[in-house]
Structure 1
Amino acid sequence: MTMTDELTQALPGIDGRITSVLRYWDGLRGDRFAPGRIEISPSAITRHLSRICILERPRAGTVRMRLAGATLSTRAGMELRGMPFRSLFDLDDRHIAMDAAETAITTPAVSLLALASPERSGPVPEAMMAILPLTDTRGALTRALAIYSERASVTPFISDVRGRFHVTDSWSLDIPESGPIVGPMGDATATKLISTQIMRPRLATQAAAPVLEAQDLPNNCRPVFQVIDGGLA
């Protein structure tokens, strides 16, 4: 068994919400590493808007939520627009969440977070979050789309759940130059990510994923890294 096979088997199944958004994002990007923020059409993902937030990385070490859906805001118990992304997570887990967000945007890659609710008896599995990179109007990798999808058992009681997320695990998925990330259509409740790509567990003790050099990207999607000061959608 290869290392790729072992890491692939370590990944969880992803549910229909995340699969749906991944397929939509995959279709928009084509042979690029990431589609543009302005290409995202709310009408195409209406069913998932309440669980989606748009992230912005204006500079290294800073990721904030430009927009956040109602379900995610209700779960957090506060208005999330303009808040730092790290504010969603326990203090001890913020470095893992930020590593996942920065990896998704700058590598670029698809990051996955397994989330739990902190309870007296220990963390209770609650949801998955996928972070998908986007480019801004200048073609720079400074944005991301994050989709939160709670377990079915949590959904009826989402308004009763409060507090920050505990991160129980984290992964990064390399984006192929061509072809989809998600495998053939299967059971919508437990779709597996395509197994031909390299899966890497993402934990704080591991080395960060290497950033793609600009010359490795196709000319039509070469990122321009620069500090953006507000404003751009």
Structure 2
Amino acid sequence: MRESGTQVSRRATRRGKLSMKHPSNREFFAYWDNKRGDARAPDRSDIEPGAVRELLGDIFVLSYDGDAGYPFRVAGTRVCALLGRDLKDKSFSALFAPESRREIEEITAVVAEELLGAVAGITATSQDGSPAHLELLLLPFNTRAHTPISLTGLLAPFDNGYGVLGDFKLTSWRYLAHPPQRLVPRALRKLAIARGLMVYEGLR
């Protein structure tokens, strides 16, 4: 029997809160959280590049276009270097191996539509075949009428010596719901059929 979204969220909450491991993701999330104030998410115009200058190489912005695989609108220099190419207009979900692609598309859709942050553990393969470990943060922007929907994120490797990476796979992920945010019905429906580690921070 398939669990309801409420059952999934309760079971995940009992596993305990997990914090972001990478300091760059913690810093970017804290800045985004401060900029949103009492809103569910900040406007894109609220994010000032100069305020996160040291993180810009790892930050990207995605277009909310599921049919095109959520293409990159902007990608920092370090993100492009990790993939060995300019990522502008390239598919974000196509970076992932087939077994992870549907999940990352579902997560990206929930972040953009429900204005929930998400953090994920990722493994990748380097050019010499050795494994690489990264942490992905996805954060929404506030939606405005007549304005294309987009979201931002940060991709941070745990070692700078990996070189060019490929074949991304999700190893764990969780949403970052916290007051005044709450999981809404559409997100709960998705969680009911999602696989992987899901922990929701700040739920009451």
CA distance in 2 between partners of 1:69 and 1:53 (Å): 6
Q: Which residue of 2 aligns with 1:226?
A: none
Report deviation, 1:118: 3.5
> Which of 89, 104, 113 is 1:106 aligned to?
113
Q: Which residue of 1 aligns with 2:165?
A: 162
Note the residue ranges of structure 2 that are not aligned, 5 or more in a row: 1-9, 182-189, 197-204
> Which of 135, 144, 155 is 2:151 aligned to?
144
Q: Which residue of 2 aligns with 1:84?
A: 91
Aligned length: 178
CA distance in 2 between partners of 1:173 and 1:33 (Å): 12
Say whether the 8 Å CA contact 1:115–1:169 is kept in structure 2.
yes
Structure 1 residues 1-233: aligned runs within 5 Å: 3=11, 5-9=13-17, 11=18, 13-58=20-65, 62-118=69-125, 124=131, 126-135=133-142, 138=145, 142-151=149-158, 154-155=159-160, 157-158=161-162, 160-177=163-180, 204-205=194-195
CA distance in 2 between partners of 1:170 and 1:203 (Å): 14
Q: Relative to structure 1, is the Cα distance of residues 141 and 204 closer, same or farther in structure 2, using a 3 angstrom cutoff? A: farther
Say whether the 8 Å CA contact 1:172–1:201 is kept in structure 2.
no
Say whether the 8 Å CA contact 2:115–2:142 is kept in structure 1.
no
CA distance in 2 between partners of 1:165 and 1:79 (Å): 17
Q: Which moved more, 1:50-59 or 1:24-33?
A: 50-59
TM-score (normalizing by structure 2): 0.75
Quote the sequence identity (%). Answer: 20
Note the residue ranges of structure 1 that are not aligned, 5 or more in a row: 179-199, 207-233
CA distance in 2 between partners of 1:62 and 1:82 (Å): 10
Q: Which residue of 1 aligns with 2:5?
A: none
CA distance in 1 between partners of 2:193 and 2:21 (Å): 19
